[in-house]
């Protein structure tokens, strides 16, 4: 007999179970599926999409959508002021995209004060638009760039905007 471990410690004895008769296995009962489950899955996706659309329309900024687009056409500089949660960050870039401001490889840029905010807002907007994060909607933070050539709405920290200025002083692609 071979001993391992401390000299004074005795080896624990275990009984090996090799026979299936000593163990009562529980077998799962499965019922055959129906086509209703597929309809439920589709309806859940539709409900989520509908809920996002309803949420977008319920935000205070939605009432000013047309005025905002017209103001962007008429003026070079706009200052938007609104309460937290009114839709400034998530909706206004989408309105610009939907109105054709991203034609000819142009982008909409939106700065966020924190890295986590840039990532979470980009994720939310990508979900609202029904696109994959990093393709049409992306974010750029220090040490991580989740964008592509197809990115049209880009969320970034203030520091990353300063780096954009270094590469493109006139920000002509925005």
Of the pLDDT bands very low, low, confident and very high (cuts 50, 70, 90), residue 27 is: low
Report the C-alpha gap between 134 and 140 in whole angstroms: 10
Strand partners, 127: none
- The pLDDT mean for the chain works out to 84
CA neighbor of 96 nearest in space, from 147, 44, 139, 136: 136
Q: What pLDDT shows up at residue 126?
A: 96
Average pLDDT over residues 160-173: 94
Residue 24 lies in a domain: no
Per-residue tokens: 65: 């959508």
The pLDDT value recorded for residue 54 is 86
Residues 6+ apart with CB under 8 A from 158: 111, 112, 113
Structure tokens at 16: 């090996």
- So what's the pLDDT on residue 165? 93
* 118 class by beta-carbon count within 10 Å (0-12 exposed, 13-18 middle, 19+ buried): buried
Assess whether pLDDT exceeds 60 at residue 20: no
CATH number where 139 lies: 3.40.50.300
Is the confidence at residue 51, as pLDDT, over 80?
yes
In the chain, how many domains are there? 1
Q: What is the mean pLDDT of residues 58-79?
A: 94
In a domain, 29, yes or no: no
Residue 22 predicted with pLDDT over 90: no
- CA gap 152, 94 in Å, rounded: 10
Q: What percent of the chain has pLDDT over 90?
A: 65
* Whole-angstrom distance, CA of residue 15 vs CA of residue 33: 42
Residue 22 included in any domain:
no
pLDDT in tens, 85-142: 999 999 999 999 999 999 999 999 999 999 999 999 999 999 999 999 999 999 999 9
CA–CA dist 100, 105 (Å, integer): 11
Evaluate whether residue 101 is within a structural domain: yes
pLDDT score for 2: 54
pLDDT over 70 at 13, yes or no: no
**Residue 10 pLDDT:** 56
Burial class (CB in 10 A: 0-12, 13-18, 19+), 17: exposed
Structural domain contains residue 142: yes
* 9 within a domain of the structure (yes/no): no
- Boundaries of domain holding 140: 40-167
Task: Tell me, yes or no, whether 16 lies in a domain.
Answer: no
Q: Which whole number is the average pLDDT over 50-57? A: 83
pLDDT for the residue 24: 58
Which pLDDT score is estimated for 19? 56
């Amino acid at each position: 007999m071979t001993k391992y471990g401390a000299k004074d410690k005795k080896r624990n004895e275990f009984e090996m179970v090799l026979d299936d008769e000593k163990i009562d296995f529980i077998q799962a009962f499965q019922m055959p599926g129906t086509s209703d489950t597929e309809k439920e899955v589709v309806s859940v996706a539709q409900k989520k999409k509908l809920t996002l659309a309803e949420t977008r329309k319920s935000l205070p900024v939605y009432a000013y959508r047309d005025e905002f687009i017209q103001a962007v056409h008429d003026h070079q500089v706009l200052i938007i002021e609104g309460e937290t949660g009114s839709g400034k960050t998530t909706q206004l870039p989408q309105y610009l995209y939907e109105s054709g401001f991203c034609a000819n490889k142009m982008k909409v840029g939106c700065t966020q004060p924190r890295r986590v905010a840039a990532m979470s807002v980009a994720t939310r907007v990508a979900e609202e638009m029904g696109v994959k994060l990093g393709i049409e909607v992306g974010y750029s933070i220090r040490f991580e760039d989740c964008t592509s050539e197809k990115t049209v709405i880009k969320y970034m920290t203030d520091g990353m905007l300063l780096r954009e200025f270094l590469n493109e002083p006139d920000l002509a692609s925005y």
